[in-house]
Amino acid sequence: MKKIGILLLTLMTLVFTGCLDDDGYSLSDMWVGFGILKETGGDPSRYQIIMDNNDVLVPVASNYNHYYDSDHSHFKDGDRVLMNYTVLGDNKGENQDPTEYYIKINSIRKILMKGILDITEANQDSIGNDPIIVKDIWMSDSLLNVKIKYWGHNEIHFINLVKQPGELTADNQPIELELRHNSNNDAESIPYSGYVSFKLNALEIPGLDSVQFKVTYSDYEGDESEYKGVYRYGGNN
């Protein structure tokens, strides 16, 4: 597993003054956002990115081989990515809104994406219970996204979203989740930050179209915080 802290990124939109191309897009404008990579045509090197705001991005240019992540691993269908891109054009027809944007990739990074774990006797130690700082937390469709900060040095850290085992029922709401961190006894000498996305599908309860949940986590001062959310899934089934 990759060290979470290699991602030192700030989510922002960068807009600069520049010349316009024929479609009215500035070649100096850049956008940053999260999305899911989807292979097209059965060719792993050809893909689109479905952004969290439902924009469809079609890469047509890049300054580097964007088929590989920073650790030289291949991107694959379903990967969670953070994109910095410039829009070159779109497929907008007359009196129609565009459904695809043709882009140049300025940078693309794979984001750790995991499911929810049940706490068991076998995994209790590996899940850990070390402090974690949550800089931001938000939902996008079926994902809970977390920007985290932690202290470390040179060990691999693990971050998980966990719950107690057992069948979920409507009476369990809000479903109690914990954001858990295992520092592997790493020295607390360097601040790291990064993003993690958790799939919430395991919370779906038959007969309902949404569930309430609560996430708790503790920081380095021992203070416990919580995030309350509603996962609406009925429209996606």
Instruction: Enumerate domains of the chain plus CATH numbers.
Output: 4-110 (2.40.50.500), 115-236 (2.60.40.2370)
Q: What is the pLDDT of residues 130-172, one digit of tens each?
A: 999 999 999 999 999 999 999 999 999 999 999 999 999 999 9
Q: Which residues contact 216 (CB under 8 A, 6 or more apart)?
A: 176, 177, 178, 179, 224, 225, 226
Considering the chain, what is the average pLDDT of its residues?
Answer: 86
Q: Is the pLDDT of residue 47 over 60?
A: yes
Q: What is the pLDDT of residues 48-103, one digit of tens each?
A: 999 999 999 999 998 766 566 655 567 889 999 999 999 999 998 777 888 899 99
Rg (CA), the chain: 20
Average of pLDDT values for 31-54? Answer: 88
- Quick one: the chain helix, strand, coil %, rounded to 5? 5, 50, 40
Q: Is the pLDDT of residue 13 over 80?
A: no
Q: What is the DSSP string of 158-177?
A: EEEEEE-SS---GGGPSEEE
pLDDT of residue 28: 86
Q: What is the DSSP string of 34-101?
A: EEEEEEETTEEEEEEEEETTS-EEEEEEESS-TTB-TTSPBP-TT-EEEEEEEEEEE---TT---S-E
Q: Which residue has the higher pLDDT, 46 or 186?
A: 186
Q: How far apart are CA 48 and CA 143, in angstroms?
A: 19
Q: Which residue has the higher pLDDT, 43 or 132?
A: 132
Average of pLDDT values for 204-233? Answer: 96
Q: Tell me if 168 sits within 8 A of 203, measured CB to CB.
A: yes
Element (H, E) at 124: helix 124-127
pLDDT of residue 95: 75
CB count within 10 Å of CB 38 equals 13
pLDDT of residue 46: 82
pLDDT of residue 194: 96
pLDDT of residue 65: 64
Eight-class DSSP state of 20: B
Q: Tell me if 37 sits within 8 A of 79, measured CB to CB.
A: yes
Average of pLDDT values for 198-216? Answer: 96
Q: Is the pLDDT of residue 8 over 50?
A: no
